[in-house]
Amino acid sequence: MQLHMATASKKSLLTLLEFEPDEIIHMLSRAAQLKRTRLVDDPPVFKGKTGVLIFEKPSLRTRITFEVAIHELGGHTVNLASESVQIGRRESVEDVARNLERWVHLIVARTFSHTTIEQLANSCSVPVINALTDAFHPCQALAFALTLREHRPDMRSTHVVFVGDGNNVCSSIMVLCAKLGYHFTLVCPTGYESPDDVLSACRAIASKTGSRIEISTDVHAALATATAVYTDVWTSMGQERESEQRKRSFRPLQLNRELLAHAPADALISHCLPAHRGEEITSDVLDGPNSVALDEAENRLHVQKAVIAHLCA
């Protein structure tokens, strides 16, 4: 995969790579403020405007939080069923984008291919927000960052350990850590690392922010200094044929009490959800006192409001 930036004149959120660290910090601060004043002092920054939601994949948290976010900012949503549009098949991505820009003020898209969302952003004059692609999930990373700030206000020497597949969520959290100067380690079996171009981009950023980006197969060593431990499903949407092989490869990395005994007692535990309980994480860990997964799920709403305000105000 080649990383590309949107070339349209407006700003979109596609990967987090297109945002400077101070912009990310500003959005996180704005999200915290919007959370404190929710339903009391919601800024009508999207009043009279419409956002369209295009979802090619199933969604609970992403779809609901974007609908609520747009509503609470004074706007209106249109849900565009992917089967009715058949974007890229019945009509080209570019033609869909050029039509939508005539009617709406924001496009939120969850697509299988990251190329699709790049084409949307490069073909229209309204902001486009990545609600998940096969390559990145930037809103999830922002929600994780807000959750970290809430639970660990002193963010010096933060070390995020991602245990599992180097997938889209992993890539976005890696980008976030590189941008904000957090140390990041991906622990995975050989062959399941993050894409080389993402890793290279993050290491280049880290050289300027003081972050450290590492890939390891030694989960015990990585966990020893973890501030937060993150995991995700071992088999993402579209990888179902690999499910049994992935279960065998990742089984030693299940987040359970025995494995987490190697981490600091106060290390935070999170998951982007939905979780396959009993596979990548056990229920007692996901529901345990160190888990912030539901806090992170809640924070999807607040960071997405902040992103919309940043892009569309």
Q: What is the pLDDT of residues 56-99, one digit of tens each?
A: 988 999 999 999 999 999 999 999 877 767 786 789 999 999 99
pLDDT at residue 154 in the model:
80
Q: Point out the catalytic residue in the list 114, 124, 140, 188.
A: 140
Equal fold, 21-136+300-312 vs 138-296: yes
pLDDT at residue 228 in the model:
98
Q: Point out the catalytic residue in the list 232, 302, 304, 312.
A: 232
DSSP string, 35-93: HHTTTTS---TTTT-EEEEEESS--SHHHHHHHHHHHHTT-EEEEEEHHHH-BTTTB-H
pLDDT at residue 1 in the model:
58
What architecture (CATH level 2) is domain 21-136+300-312?
Answer: 3-Layer(aba) Sandwich (3.40)
Question: Which residues pair with residue 52 across a beta bridge?
Answer: 78, 107
Residue 118 near residue 5, CB atoms below 8 Å: no
User: Which regions of the chain are under pLDDT 50?
Assistant: 5-9
Q: Point out the catalytic residue in the list 61, 110, 114, 183.
A: 110
pLDDT at residue 272 in the model:
97
193: left (phi over 0), alpha (psi -120 to 50) or beta: beta
Taking the C-alpha atoms of residue 97 and residue 117, their distance in angstroms, rounded to an integer, is 10
- Identify whether 252 is preceded by a cis peptide bond (ω within 30 of 0): no
Q: Point out the catalytic residue in the list 30, 137, 183, 310.
A: 137
241 in catalytic set = no
33 in catalytic set = no
What architecture (CATH level 2) is domain 138-296?
Answer: 3-Layer(aba) Sandwich (3.40)
pLDDT at residue 4 in the model:
52
pLDDT at residue 7 in the model:
42
Q: Point out the catalytic residue in the list 300, 302, 304, 310.
A: 300
Residue 292 near residue 143, CB atoms below 8 Å: no
**DSSP, res 13:** B
> So where are the chain's domains?
21-136+300-312, 138-296
**DSSP, res 281:** B
Q: Point out the catalytic residue in the list 139, 188, 272, 312.
A: 272
Q: In what order do the strands lie in the sheet with 268-271?
A: 213-216, 183-187, 159-163, 228-231, 268-271
Taking the C-alpha atoms of residue 191 and residue 242, their distance in angstroms, rounded to an integer, is 13
pLDDT at residue 3 in the model:
65
140 in catalytic set = yes
188 in catalytic set = no
